[in-house]
A and B are shown apart, each in its own frame.
Chain A
Amino acid sequence: MNIYEQQASNRRTTVLILAAFAAFFLVIGLGFDYFYFNFGRDLTSVGDLANTAYQESVAPGRYQGGGNNVPFGTILALIVSAGLMLNSYFNGARMVLRSTMARRANPLDEREKQFINVVTEMATASGLPAPAAYIVPDQDLNAFATGTSPANSVIAVTEGLLVSLNREELQAVVAHEMGHVRNYDIRLMTVVAALMGAIALLSDFAGRSSRYRGRSAYRGSSSGGSNRRSGGGGAALLFLLWIVLVLLAPLISRILAMAISRQREFLADATGAELTRNPEGLISALEKIRAAVMPTNAVNNGVAHMCIADPRGSLIEEKSGFAADLLATHPPMEKRILALKAMAYRAGNPAPVRGM
C-alpha cells in the first residue's frame, strides 16, 4: 500500500466509522421507542418492527400506533449522534489533548526548544506545515499525533521521552508521528477516539437504566398483567439482543479501533524512515521505548490507539496469537523493529568505515 492508497483508505474508513456510529445510534433510538415508549406496540408480529422503523423514517408521526405517536427516542438519538459526530470532528483534537493533560512546549526550555526544532525539521522534510508541539506530563516514553488535517495537526510527546531519547531518536519518533499526519491517520484516529468516548458514556447510561426497565419488562410479560405487552417471547428476545448490543458496544468499538490502528503503525514507521533516511534512529528509539514498560498514566484507554507504543505498558504486545492480535493496539514491537532492520539493510550501507 503506498501513501495515496493509504490516504484514500483512511478517508473511506472515516466515513464508514461515522456511518456505523450513526447506525448504532439509530438502533439505540429505535429500541428506546420500542421498549420504553411503547411506540408501535400494537403490532402483532415482531417482524413488523423493520416496517415500523421504515414508516417512522419516511413519515414520523403519521403512523397511528398505540402509545406514543412521535418517535422521540429515534429523533433524539439522531440529533445527539449528529452533534457528537460534528463535535468529534471539530473538537476531537482538543478533547484528546485535554484528556492527556498535554500543554504547549515551552521554547525557553532547552529540551523543549529542541523538540520544537525537531518538529520543524520533520515538517520541512515532508513539505507540510509545522504541527504544534505539545508535552504530556508523564515519565513514561510515548508520543502521539492528533488533528483533522496537516494544517492544524499536533504532535505530542511525554516528558520522559524528551529526557531519555537523544536528538536522533527524538527525530525518528517525530518522523513516525509526521507519517501519521501526512497519511491522514490523525483524522481517523481522532474521530475514533472522540466517538469511542461517546459510546462508552452512552452504553454506560443505557445499560444502567435498562437494568430496572429490563427486570420490570420481564416480569410484566411473564405474568401477562400488562396489557401493553403483546410481542411476547419474540419481543423479549429482541430486547435481549438490543441490550447485548448496547452493553457490548464499547468493547466492539475498542476492538475496531485497535484493528484500525495496528495496520497503520507499520506504514508510519516506513514513512518515518523515509523522512529521516535513517531507520537506525527509529530502531534504537523503539528499543528504548520497549525497555521502559511502565504504563503511561496520563494516557487513558480511549487514546491508546493513537500512541507510538501501547500506553498500558502491558506485555500483551509481545505475545502473538489470536487473542493478542485482537486486543493489542500495536503490532508486536519485535515485528516493527524487524521490518525497520530489513529497511536499513535494503538501504544498503552499514556505514563503511573508511579513512583513518
Chain B
Amino acid sequence: MIILAIVLLALAAYLVFTFNGLVRLRNQVANAFRQIDVQLKRRHDLIPNLIESVKGEMKFERETLERVIQARAAAVTAGQGGSTHDILAKEGMLTQALGRLFALSENYPNLKANESVKKLMEELTHTENQIAFARQFYNDVVTKFNTAQQVFPTNLFAALLGFSASELWELPADSPERENPKVNLAI
C-alpha cells in the first residue's frame, strides 16, 4: 500500500516536472519567433529608404529595384495574416532580391562613397544578420523543444498534455533562396 503510494507520488512528481519543462521550452520558442518577427518588420521599414537613396544612381537596374519593391510588398501582405508557410516563402524571396541588389551595388563606387547610403547599407546588413541569427536561435530552441517531446517516455503523453511539435524555420522546397546565384561573367 505504502509502496504503491510512493510510486504514484513519484509518477505525479515526474509528470509535473516534465510538464513544467515543456511549458518553459514552448514559451522560449514563442519568444524566439517574436524576435524574428521584430527583425522582419524592421527590414520592411528600412527598404523604402534604401530604394529612395539608391534609385538615382542605379537607374539602369530598374528591374532589380522593382523586384525588391514587389517582394517587400508581398512579404508585408503575407505578414498580415498569412500562414507561416506563406511568410517563409515571401520573406525568402525578399532576402534573395535584396542579396542581388547588394551585389549589384558593388559596381557603383559613387554609392559606396555616399555617407547616407553607407549607413543604410550597414543598417540593412545588420538587419539581415539579425534575421539570420534570430532564425538560427529559433531553430535551436525548436529542436530542443521537439526533442524533449519525442524522447521516451515523454513521447507517450506529450500529446495528452497538449504539446505538439513546432515547425522549424526552414526554406520551403520551392523557395528561390535555394537556387544557386547565377553569376554572369560576360562583360
Contacts and interface: CB of A to CB of B under 8 A. Distances in A.
Interface of A: 110, 113-114, 117, 120-122, 124-127, 167, 171, 275, 277, 354-356
B126 to A, nearest CB: 4
B5 to A, nearest CB: 34
A355 B130 contact: no
Interface residues of B, number: 20
B141 A127 contact: yes
A117 B183 contact: no
B56 interface: no
A117 B129 CA distance: 9
A118 to B, nearest CB: 8
Given A121-B129, A124-B130, A125-B136, A114 B122 contact: yes
Interface of B: 32, 35, 118-119, 122-123, 125-126, 129-130, 133-134, 136-137, 141, 180-183, 185
A122 B134 CA distance: 10
A117 B39 CA distance: 13
A274 B130 CA distance: 16
Nearest to A128: B137
A110 B180 contact: no
14 contacts: A110-B119, A110-B122, A113-B119, A114-B122, A117-B122, A120-B126, A120-B130, A121-B126, A121-B129, A124-B137, A125-B137, A126-B137, A354-B180, A355-B180
A124 B133 contact: yes
B122 to A, nearest CB: 6
Most chain A beta-carbon contacts within 10 A, residue among B130, B133, B182: B133
A127 B25 CA distance: 13
A226 to B, nearest CB: 69
A277 B136 CA distance: 9
Contacts of B180: 354-355
A349 to B, nearest CB: 14
Interface SS of chain B: helix
Contacts of B183: 355-356
Contacts of A114: 122, 126
Nearest to A122: B133
Contact of A113 (B122, B130, B141, B182): B122
B123 to A, nearest CB: 8
Most chain B beta-carbon contacts within 10 A, residue among A110, A124, A125, A355: A124
Nearest to B38: A124
Contact of A121 (B123, B130, B182, B185): B130
B35 A117 contact: no
Contacts of A355: 180-183
Contact of A124 (B35, B122, B141, B182): B35
A354 B183 CA distance: 10
Contacts of A124: 35, 130, 133-134, 137
A125 B132 CA distance: 8
